[in-house]
Structure 1
Amino acid sequence: MDVADLEFQARTRSGCIPPELVSRLLERGYADVVEVQAGRGEWFCALAWARSLDERGRRTDAWEALAPYLATGWWTAVTAAAGLLEGWGRADEAIEITRIRTEAGHPMALEVYARLLARHGRAEEAFTLLRPHLGEPALAVALVEVAGPAGRDEEAVALLTARTEHRCSDFPWCCRGFDRDMAKRLLATIRERQGRTDEALALLSAGDTASLDHREERAALLARHGRLDELRAAAATDDSGSAVRRLARVLEERGDVDGAVAAYRQAGESVARRPHSAVALAQLLARHGRGDEAITVMRDQAATYKGEDWILHTLSELYLGQGRPGEGLAQLDTFATARGGEEDWDLYWIRLPLIAACHGVDEAVARARAHPEGGASYAAPHLAELLADSGRTEEAVAVLAPHAPANGHELAGYLIDLGRVEDALAVLQRPTAPPDSWGGSWHDRPPF
């Protein structure tokens, strides 16, 4: 096995069996295929197989499944192996294999190593290791996490307070992404952990109140502590929609659906200008049997944000869910006419499930093929899905096959469903660009 090749496949999901299809193989009863492929360099098969063996108590076999990958020194395999060891109560061994990579200089190893130390009674050591690397955002988050069990919260506060004085001149380059807003969020995390909630809220309210991150964090903090009156006040003035969505979620979880709906309604124009909030309201209404109201909300959004595919898709799904596909088609036609009549494929495909519900799958497929872009590779998955959902998987394969490898994952999935596993593997394991033509990521070779 070659580290660069493994990294290339893991990052691009090309030339290998991706995790969703490994799951599909297991679900369809092809565990033997996953086992064989795990021994042939298929990382996602090896990982799934090791976890499957672990769940059945076969720890030695699970370790052997990962061992060849771990032997390469590949970081992804190291973290997976460390996870197994920790789960088996062998924390010292997990710490050791991550320590080796940390000392070898792997840029991601220190964070994992420090958290492992902290989880197993060595938080002070972890804090000391992380302290010189405060300027790295991920390591700063880890430092805040380990500061509590290390008993060094105030030292972390002092370090972070100094960062709040930074004024960005060229974000993120001037501070490597660790700006004063992030420092305040981390400070707030510590103060909340200490039970000093008011101080945490003050940190998230001070300074640049336009920070969307701060608004979301502040709303979440209020929700966690049940301070609904303050959350309502925030919702009334926060035009980002963060506080409204958080308030509605809390109220729904408490069984107050009317209150959750009212939170959106009372936001009025703010929600109307924020399509994400409007979608959240529509989904809330649909979850609680108020589909007509949900459709009205999204129909207004579609009229305001003309040609936004995700809004039209949400609206069409609501019509379909309410058993009103004919009305949905008529509404999409109205919007299309207002835009000039012609629809590119990125909007046209949204109507296909509605056509199938009204007139049958054959009619939907025929109309799709008559579209100017109906023969394109990006149209094929939509046609295939229509056919497969109606039990015509062989036809779905026939639609996708001419467009492989562009639609290789979809094609392989349907081949697996049909029991044509060897054909699926042939599609997935086609040669790809050599890993050395791609930059890859940091790695080295054993011994370390």
Structure 2
Amino acid sequence: MNIDDLGWQARTLGGLSPRNVGFLLEHGHLDLVIQAAVERGEWFCATGAAEELCRAGEFNRALEVVEPFVTIGWRAALWAKADILLQAGRTEVALDLVRLDEVGRASKAECHDFAVLLVKAGRVDEAIDLLVRHVDGWWRLSVLVEVTEGQGRDEQVLELIAPHADAVRRARGEDRWNQSFWTAQELQAQVLERAGRPDEAIRILGRDITAGHCFSQGTLTAYAELLARHGRLAELRELSTGEHAHTVLDIYAGALRDHGRAAEAEAVMRNAIAADDWTGYRAWLSTTLLADGRLDDAIAVAEPGFGAYDCSNLLWPLVAPLLDRPEELLYLVEHPSVVPHYGHEEFQHWWRAWALAGLGRIDEAIAVAEADPSPWTDLGIVKAHLLSAAGRHEAAAAELRSLGTIKARKELLEVLVRHGRAVEAMALHPTAAEERTAEQERKPVPMGENGYSLEPPF
């Protein structure tokens, strides 16, 4: 274990990923996670185990887990240690461990983390002072808003935000776009709202929208959501029927549903589609109809976009909620109006195979996967997934074992843990070092003009 190895783990989620660590902890395997952290230098095991131990009040054990990483100089481990010390009530030791220099050289991440630590220690004024001294743009200003929520400092924060929000307004009034605090207006409205002054937030932000003194679509969205939260439906309707319809009509329709006016929301969106057949309108209405259990209606609305490319394709938003509802998923992918996903036709094979497997029709599922003319990943791993979805976990494990690849060994973990074989799963899971070595030895694959691989996995 060294800094370079830990940096690779952090960048690539290599070794035991946060997801797998969480899965192991959920199934009660804290000791195995600690063992992997200590013996294999698995960073995500160390952080996951430390968090679990702190929840149980075992702060000394948590410190023991992260200390080897601190010793070699891994900066993230130093911050993890400080957080453990703080939770253990050793406030001064924790703060001294990671205290920032006084000359403003702290990185954005360190500034954020130290401010959060100060707030946890009850030193809110020190956190505000730190952030004010380091504020150089929208991100640190947003951190100031984040860490002071619920701390009784809203009026102070509003005073600090006001000059930046005014500077943004002046810049837009002069048709200038070089403003580093470009989110200041919506942050100002956010703090006004949480301070119990929503009407003032609505008035100020509405005036900015009308005058065209905003830098981003996010400010418009923030204003629409503010109106929705406070039941200002008439103003929201007016905003959504003009030039901003593509941005806020879905917020208006959602607000109508929240107020028990679902039929009216549907009519609003159907009228919008009739007048301006924009994909965004169809996406909102089709997914909403699906959420209401109206699959046929959802298909009818989304069908014109089924063959489009990537973000404009309306098939995936219907598929995603049905992945654990195999009967409905099969109905969707076998519907006459469904066409292959442009540029990603292989997914239609995977979706149909997944639905069949979920219904226990495993032989048909595997046949569909094998018929895929351009498989998107290793067929053996696909088979294992299908076998697992059909409840045939032993067969899935056997398939993965027979492959013997790094990826197959990683996939094997969940299958074995679910069947009480966590020790075996950990023994078979590749170490971070193995995985990194395999990645370095992998032969380069030919790339297309778009920068993507021409060979699976794509």
Distance 2:113 2:47 in 1: 19
- Quote how far apart the aligned CAs of 1:435 are: 12
Aligned match of 2:38:
39
Structure 1 counterpart SS, 2:429: helix
Aligned match of 1:220:
225
1:295/1:121 Cα in 2 relative to 1: closer, same or farther (>3 Å)? same
Aligned match of 2:185:
184
Letter in 1 for 2:306: A
Distance 2:57 2:16 in 1: 25
Question: Which of 128, 138, 162 is the aligned partner of 1:157?
Answer: 162
Aligned-residue Cα RMSD (Å) equals 4.0
Correspondence 1:295 to 2:299: yes
Structure 1 counterpart SS, 2:386: helix
Runs of at least 5 residues in structure 2 that lack an aligned partner in the other structure: 441-458
1:45/1:255 Cα in 2 relative to 1: closer, same or farther (>3 Å)? farther
Asked whether the equivalents of residues 212 and 240 of structure 1 are also in contact (C-alpha less than 8 Å), the reply is no
Correspondence 1:284 to 2:288: yes
Asked whether the equivalents of residues 349 and 368 of structure 1 are also in contact (C-alpha less than 8 Å), the reply is yes
1:328/1:126 Cα in 2 relative to 1: closer, same or farther (>3 Å)? closer
Structure 2 counterpart SS, 1:39: helix
Correspondence 1:313 to 2:316: yes
Letter in 2 for 1:43: W
Letter in 2 for 1:296: A
Distance 1:394 1:12 in 2: 30
Letter in 1 for 2:224: A
Letter in 2 for 1:293: D
Normalising by the residue count of structure 1, what TM-score does the alignment of the two structures yield? 0.77
Distance 1:318 1:146 in 2: 34
- Quote how far apart the aligned CAs of 1:44 are: 1.4
1:271/1:278 Cα in 2 relative to 1: closer, same or farther (>3 Å)? farther
Give the fraction of aligned pairs with identical amino acids, expressed as a percent: 27
1:126/1:23 Cα in 2 relative to 1: closer, same or farther (>3 Å)? closer
Aligned match of 1:424:
428
Asked whether the equivalents of residues 413 and 424 of structure 1 are also in contact (C-alpha less than 8 Å), the reply is no
Normalising by the residue count of structure 2, what TM-score does the alignment of the two structures yield? 0.76
1:124/1:319 Cα in 2 relative to 1: closer, same or farther (>3 Å)? closer
- Quote how far apart the aligned CAs of 1:23 are: 2.2
Letter in 1 for 2:10: A
> Which one is further off, 262-271 or 360-369?
262-271
Asked whether the equivalents of residues 326 and 355 of structure 2 are also in contact (C-alpha less than 8 Å), the reply is no
Asked whether the equivalents of residues 186 and 219 of structure 2 are also in contact (C-alpha less than 8 Å), the reply is yes
Distance 1:117 1:326 in 2: 53
Correspondence 1:265 to 2:270: yes
Letter in 1 for 2:415: Y
- Quote how far apart the aligned CAs of 1:322 are: 8.5
Distance 2:398 2:167 in 1: 62
Letter in 2 for 1:287: A
Aligned match of 2:99:
99
Correspondence 1:112 to 2:113: yes
**1:51-79 Cα shifts (integer Å, max 9, x gaps):** 22222232322232223334445343334
1:119/1:405 Cα in 2 relative to 1: closer, same or farther (>3 Å)? closer
Aligned match of 1:362:
363
Distance 1:140 1:187 in 2: 10
Aligned match of 2:446:
none
Aligned match of 2:279:
274
Distance 1:424 1:150 in 2: 56
Distance 1:48 1:295 in 2: 42
- Quote how far apart the aligned CAs of 1:214 are: 1.9
Asked whether the equivalents of residues 85 and 93 of structure 1 are also in contact (C-alpha less than 8 Å), the reply is yes
Structure 2 counterpart SS, 1:17: coil
Distance 1:435 1:325 in 2: 36
1:323/1:369 Cα in 2 relative to 1: closer, same or farther (>3 Å)? closer
Correspondence 1:138 to 2:139: yes
Asked whether the equivalents of residues 169 and 214 of structure 2 are also in contact (C-alpha less than 8 Å), the reply is no
Letter in 1 for 2:223: R
Asked whether the equivalents of residues 185 and 204 of structure 1 are also in contact (C-alpha less than 8 Å), the reply is no
1:22/1:96 Cα in 2 relative to 1: closer, same or farther (>3 Å)? same
- Quote how far apart the aligned CAs of 1:389 are: 0.7
Q: Which has the higher contact order (CA 8 A, sep 6+)?
A: 1
1:152/1:56 Cα in 2 relative to 1: closer, same or farther (>3 Å)? closer
- Quote how far apart the aligned CAs of 1:96 are: 2.9
Distance 1:104 1:36 in 2: 39
**1:223-267 Cα shifts (integer Å, max 9, x gaps):** 232322222222333656442333344444455443443443343
- Quote how far apart the aligned CAs of 1:379 are: 4.8
Report the number of matched residues. Answer: 422
Asked whether the equivalents of residues 119 and 147 of structure 2 are also in contact (C-alpha less than 8 Å), the reply is yes
Distance 1:357 1:121 in 2: 51
1:309/1:143 Cα in 2 relative to 1: closer, same or farther (>3 Å)? closer
Distance 1:263 1:99 in 2: 55
Distance 2:365 2:438 in 1: 41
Structure 2 counterpart SS, 1:426: coil
- Quote how far apart the aligned CAs of 1:350 are: 2.7
**1:5-62 Cα shifts (integer Å, max 9, x gaps):** 2222022112x21111112223344333112112232121122222222222323222
Structure 2 counterpart SS, 1:237: coil
Asked whether the equivalents of residues 264 and 271 of structure 1 are also in contact (C-alpha less than 8 Å), the reply is no
Aligned match of 2:18:
19
- Quote how far apart the aligned CAs of 1:363 are: 1.5
Distance 2:310 2:144 in 1: 46
